[in-house]
Amino acid sequence: MNTNTINPRDRLLAALKYLFVIACVIAALFPLLWVFMSSFKSNSEILSSGVSLPKSFNFSGYIDALRISPILKYFANSVLIAGVVTFVNVLLLSMAGYVFARCQFFGKKFLYFLLSLSMVIPMTALLHPVYIVVNSLQLYDTKLGLILVYTALNMPMSLLIMRSTFQGIPRALEEAAYVDGAGFVRTFFQIMLPCAKGGLASSAVLAFLGSWNEFTFALVLTSGESARTLPLSLSYFTSQFSFNYTALFAAVTIAVIPSILVFAIFQEQVISSLTAGAVKE
């Protein structure tokens, strides 16, 4: 990042580096821009042009989006469900991840192996059994039903991340805590969790996005507006012989913009807590 390097090789390297970063940013921004532009285009514009500015800026797509689908209600449900899932998931899986990273007990390897199988089981295999479980728990068409399922769906990733995060924390830290007379639980919450903020934030992000974007279970496990989530609202705009792409992309924009804001603020929090130096030995 030192800009006054004289060495030409270093300069080339720096240039390449910036080029790479810029390329990544463009690649990441392109879909967003495309969706945003499309939310102002007419159906025929969307279907007959590539990258272009809309002929006119009007908000009819947004008005249609709000008229055709209960998107705001679904949005609120999504925020609540994804929020709770994120918190519960990260809390539970950091506990489990800690135990797997640090404790010895009989059958540990086998249990971990069994748990990680859940990462590769095909979704279609889950559909029928999960439907039956949720139904028999009287949780069909409730937010709690979705929260339960999403917490489980995001389990393998969070476990993986939290375990490897705790493995990366020097043992000396907790040993010192034990010497000071801290118990197991206190050591975990007061010493280990603050050190694992990076991992916590990452699994939180993943769990949030995982439940934010999930479609299949939201479809199968809900029937009314009280529990449905955002991805379902996007289906309102295309049917076999009828479509309203303008409204579809307006809906996608409505779904994306606030999440980016939340996301940016959330990350800022995490970064500042990280750089505050909680991890210094």
Partner 1 sequence: MMNTKKRWIVIFLLPTVALFLLIYLVPLLIVFVTSFFDYRLTASELSFVGLSNYISLFGDPDFHKAFSNTIIWILIQCTLHVGMGTLLALILYKKVRGWKFVRTVYMIPNIISNAAMGMIFLNIFNPSYGVLNSILKSVGLGHLAKNWLMDSATAFPAVTLVWFLFAGYTTTLVLSSALSVDESLIEAAKIDGASPVQTDLFVMLPLLRKMIGTTMVMAATYMLQMFDLIYITTGGGPGKATTNLPLLLYGAYKGENNYGYANTIGVVIVLMGIAVMAIINKVMKVNDDEY
Partner 2 sequence: MKKLLVVLLITAMVVGMVSGCSKKADNKKSSTNKDGEIVLNYPTFQCGVNTAAEVVAKLVEEFNEKYDGKYEIKLEEIPGDTNYVDKIKVQLGTGDLPPVIYGGGFNLLDLALAKDLVVDLTEKVDADSEWKDLYSEAALTTNSRDGKIYASSVEGSLVGYFYNKELFDKAGIKEPAKTWDEFFAQCETLKKAGITPLSMDTADSAWVTQLWLGALVATDNESGLDFMKTMNPTDYNTPEMIAAVEKVQKMLKEYTTLDAIGGKYEQAANNFLSGQTAMIANGPWMIGDFTDETKTTKDFADKVGTAIYPDSFVYDAPIQGYFVTKQSDPKVEEAAIEMVKFFTSAHAQQLGLDLQGMVPASDTVKVSDEAKDKFPLLSEFIELAADAETRTDNMQATMYSNLLDTISQELPRLQSGDIDAKGFCEIMSKDAAKNS
Q: Which residues bind partner 2 (CB under 8 A)?
A: 42-44, 47-48, 60, 68-69, 80-81, 84, 87-88, 91, 127-128, 131-132, 135, 138-145, 147, 185-186, 189-190, 216, 219-220, 223-224, 226, 232-233, 235-247
Residue 234's identity, in one-letter code, is L
| CB nearer partner 2, residue 154 or residue 160 | 154
**Angle, CA of 26, 9 and 3, to the nearest 5°:** 65
CA 91 to CA 199: how far, in whole Å?
12
Task: Quote the least distance from Cβ 11 to partner 1, whole Å.
Answer: 13
Task: Quote the least distance from Cβ 173 to partner 2, whole Å.
Answer: 16
Query: Which one of partner 1, partner 2, none is in contact with 240 (Cβ closer than 5 to 8 A by kind)?
Result: partner 2
| CB nearer partner 2, residue 8 or residue 181 | 181
Residues β-bridged to residue 242 = 239
Query: Which one of partner 2, partner 1, none is in contact with 125 (Cβ closer than 5 to 8 A by kind)?
Result: partner 1
Task: Quote the least distance from Cβ 180 to partner 2, whole Å.
Answer: 13
| CB nearer partner 1, residue 68 or residue 205 | 205
213 alpha-carbon distance from chain centroid: 8
Residues β-bridged to residue 239 = 242
Query: Which one of partner 1, partner 2, none is in contact with 114 (Cβ closer than 5 to 8 A by kind)?
Result: partner 1
CB 271 within 8 Å of CB 67: no
| CB nearer partner 2, residue 3 or residue 240 | 240
CB 245 within 8 Å of CB 46: yes
Query: Which one of partner 2, partner 1, none is in contact with 140 (Cβ closer than 5 to 8 A by kind)?
Result: partner 2
Give the torsion sign (CA, 1, 260, 92, 100): negative
| CB nearer partner 2, residue 10 or residue 225 | 225
CA 279 to CA 281: how far, in whole Å?
6
CA 50 to CA 61: how far, in whole Å?
19
Nearest Cα neighbor of 271 from 188, 190, 189, 202 is 202
Task: Quote the least distance from Cβ 236 to partner 1, whole Å.
Answer: 12
